[in-house]
Structure 1
């Protein structure tokens, strides 16, 4: 049986990275070769001390994650970065290097996608049959996941309520996917724009991205898991797919390990940025649960439809999205129209003293210079030639190697 933890007692962080060829800058579907070189034989999971490595749905993405629950996030930037350097060392002989950000700016998903062909591949194959995983919502989407524990229904209620209301704010801090196939898409968080509809064949799986107002295990099963099970039955004749795996909302309850996983964070250019964002989100959630700004009842009252409207605008405009819904702003102790960027500045000031000082510089750079999407657009300017875009994203590979944030 999985050990149960109380709120914020431990943390789980997952980071997804692309493998990219050094000469052509195309995605390199060789994660199996990477894992084989490290382990001496083909394996889907590698235990590398504090950090574990594993494959993903597509063969050009590797996931790094905390190897079991971590007691603190403050030392994770160094641990993840050490693993990035080790992987890049292995990839050197394969003429390949890791790249951060949520989307490869030049990848053509129809021609460049290769699915993972090894363990667990029957699940991926079934997904591919149902949804065609060559689309953008599947094959060019790298994210950061935060896993937070809850002990029982009382803690689940508080955590789920707080996470639901913070989800629409996340693109204002972490959008990093403004360019696809060499085009500026018009969405700063294009990954989430595709996330909304990549399972449209079975709408019960993603819902409205914002989870329903469910605040107990029983209610969650009835409201979310049961409709998912009913909807997938005609497609999954052999019962291969698991309800936890199928639930694709922006935050998902994992009752199998008593945690909620937040999935709306675009991965950044380096672990220093990712972990700073995770640390800030965690401290803000603590403040919300602590009722620093509003009551639990006020948090629970928000429907998925009303929160989705705010999220939808944030996907397009990130930190420049304007929030005019005063009732929503009151949830965070604000009284007049604000941009998402301003809301994050306000929240950062509120929790800054609780944040480890190693995160301050990263957060302040993001709040002053803009999300990575904004900085990438600034660096790209009007020159969307393949050569120029490649040169910008090669700078991001340098940022990953040095664990520093990108500034155009």
Structure 2
């Protein structure tokens, strides 16, 4: 047990909270647990009492408890959140929270619809989304889903109380005219049959209501919890109260909770997850495979939210800097610039790379015109590579806001 104690204390106090892969093979920290030792460690971690451990009053169906550790890694992310985000969201001093707040909300809705659509396999353009949400009597299921997403966002932005009836109302809005007969809810608010998610089993229908009631009570008592929206997000995925649309509901509810909470977080979560789907699912698996240790999921989503918030913060700062010289960029150019910022860590790119990460259909000539325009504005740098093609990279000197781990 001494061995497990040392490993856990290192995980809590050092810069990285070890996941199961780290524990099986971690040459850097000299950790090499066998399969049996890993099982013993997970049980030890679940039972361990520590001042930085938070045990949640949420009902679990396959572990003793649901908990997380306020690890050093998590605390660093919260510090980043406090430094970069709190002032913007509460004091409204930056361009991210502008006087034209309604337009900002509409843009966020479009972004969330686009992000969630891609996560769930509905691939469509931002322009088409904006056209669809203003139409009625839609027939195509893809279009209906996008329209439903818009109406679902309208509903949560109206700030209804988070309870069983209102959650079910959100579910009805989101799934309206989309479900096959076998996908429809057969209980009053939740499913009555079993579901399986990859290698995991959803909550038994006999205790779904009890579990969800524990969630409603928890949210009511935790308005000041900075992790609340992430905890709710995971818990809905964990319980899986519906036959379908659980992931989409979880992401929508996380925005809803953030809107209701005193600790507001950026509303870009679906758009951000869309950029990082593999790590999103990995964070879910790390939590599930560690007896519901939410440290992994909270850490992942907090880092993702912080990073994506800074994408917008830097984007607005660049536009403000250009405005000082009488230069403005269009909304389309703003979208292209955002794509460049998001993908900047990948380094140099050619015109094909830009087309790919911007998800656009455009000619080489048109693409180079866009990129050369950014080059002229000192947003990009360029050079000729050994294949005699022009390649580009973001000018890092214009990125003023960075996280501590950048």
User: Highest relative contact order (Cα 8 Å, sep 6+), 1 or 2?
Assistant: 1
> TM-score with structure 2 length normalisation?
0.27
Task: Name the structure with the higher strand share.
Answer: 1
Question: Rg bigger for which structure?
Answer: 2
Task: Name the structure with the higher helix share.
Answer: 2
